[in-house]
Structures are given as structure tokens and as C-alpha cells.
Amino acid sequence: MILLGLDAASDLRKFGVVMCRWTHGKLSLLAHGTLDQTSIRDAITQQLRTADRALLAIDAPLGWPAALGQSLAAHQAGQGIAVAQNTLFRRATDVSVHQRTGKLPLEVGADRIARAAWQALSVLQQLRAATGHDIPLAWAPDFADRIAAIEVYPGALLKATGGNPSGYKEQVEGVAARALIATRFAELAPWLGNLVDQRADVFDAALCTLAGIDFLRGEAIPPDEVALARKEGWAWVRPLTPHT
């Protein structure tokens, strides 16, 4: 199984990538970098073309709130909007993650994260064209497609496994915090410590692969309303453990 972690950003120079192979309960590192690097793009395409099975774990919203599209489709400038702000700008998965973990994802309906979401969807389309596979979203660990994708949220993964070390995303100041995180996942991903000094977005991409393992193990919480999740997208997040 190939695990491709993607930490989406509107700028491909900041779009982190970590590619791993998952065998015998451990992840082995195959490649890491950012999507502006031709070598990284070529490595991804080659692996996805030949892999028996692959999962893309993407840190970005992959859909928009259903109420947003419904409300704006017929809206005219200057008119009021009858839908409440939170309903308009937050997806069902945002509300679910907040209720379960206390962390509120960035709102794709109201925040600049929309540009990263657009880029993530663009990258997905490019990978479909390059590999010749549809790459649909997966809704169960035993997905039938050879290649599938899911939405993940590294911040919720950290919260669920012992807390989110302050400042870990800071490039220089966050090295110590990233080292603590790497120690936490040393058994599953012993190579993670080697990425502590790399770009923070690459480190986040590595965390995406770990969140992907939660999904594959059936440890991530599925949506209550599948039809709505298929429209808006769903972030696969494991529940909080007792010590958190």
C-alpha cells in the first residue's frame, strides 16, 4: 500500500508531500518534498501508476458547505441571506471535528483556505490525468478502487494522540516541538525524526500519512450523513484518547 500525504497550499512551493509504503504495520519513507519539484511529481506519478493499492491523504477541505451553494446560487447583490453564518460557512465535518476534539478546522466557506482547497482539487485532477485512474474519495477502509483519496486533519490527529505542541509549524522555532511529535510516532514511522529539520509543510504531509493509517485501520470516525459528506467532504479523524 502506497500512502501519499499532501499538505495542501495555494502555492506549490509550500505544498508539502510525503510518500510512504505501508507494510507489516510500519511506514517506510519513499520520497518527500514540495509539489513544485519535478522530481517529486515524477516519483508520485510513477508510484501511483504501478502500485497495487494507494491512498492519498490530503490536508485540505475537498468540498464546500452545502448551504453555501444553495444560498448563493440565486442570490443577488444587496439581498439578505436567511441562513445563519455558521451553517453557511461550516461543513458538517467541521462541526463534528470541533465537537469531538475541541479544534475547529479553517472554514473553507469563509477563509483563505479556499485557495488551498482549490489547489488540492487541481492536483487531484492532474494526478487522475497522469495515472489514468479516477481517484475517487474513499468512504471505507476496504475501498474497492486501486487508488483513492481522503481528507485528513493533522491538528486533530495531534490533539487525539497527546496534544498539539505549541509552535510546531514554525520553521525554526518549531524544531523542538516537531521532535516531540516525531518521538510520539516513532514506532509507526521511525523516519519521522529525520524530517524535523525539513520544511514544516513537509512535516505536516508526513502527519497526513499517519492520519491515513487511522482511516485504513478503521479508527477514524465516519460521517453520520453519508450523502451530505459526499457533497461537502469529510475529514477522517480518530476520537480523543482518554489521556487527552
Task: State pLDDT tens for residues 4-30.
Answer: 999 999 999 999 999 999 998 889 999
Q: Is residue 46 part of a domain?
A: yes
Burial class (CB in 10 A: 0-12, 13-18, 19+), 97: buried
What is the dihedral angle through the alpha carbons of 6, 11, 12, 15, rounded to the nearest 10 degrees?
Answer: -20
Give me the pLDDT at residue 244, please: 43
Q: How many CB atoms lie within 10 A of CB 92?
A: 20
Please tell me the total count of domains within the chain. Answer: 1
Q: Is residue 190 part of a domain?
A: yes
Domain range for 171? 2-70+82-232
Q: Is residue 75 part of a domain?
A: no
Q: What is the pLDDT of residues 35-81, one digit of tens each?
A: 999 999 999 999 999 999 999 999 999 999 999 999 999 899 989 99
Q: Is residue 240 part of a domain?
A: no
Q: What is the pLDDT of residues 137-161, one digit of tens each?
A: 999 999 999 999 999 999 999 999 9
Q: Is residue 241 part of a domain?
A: no
pTM of the model: 0.95
Q: Are 7 and 16 in contact (CB under 8 A)?
A: yes
Tell me the mean pLDDT in the region 118-139: 96
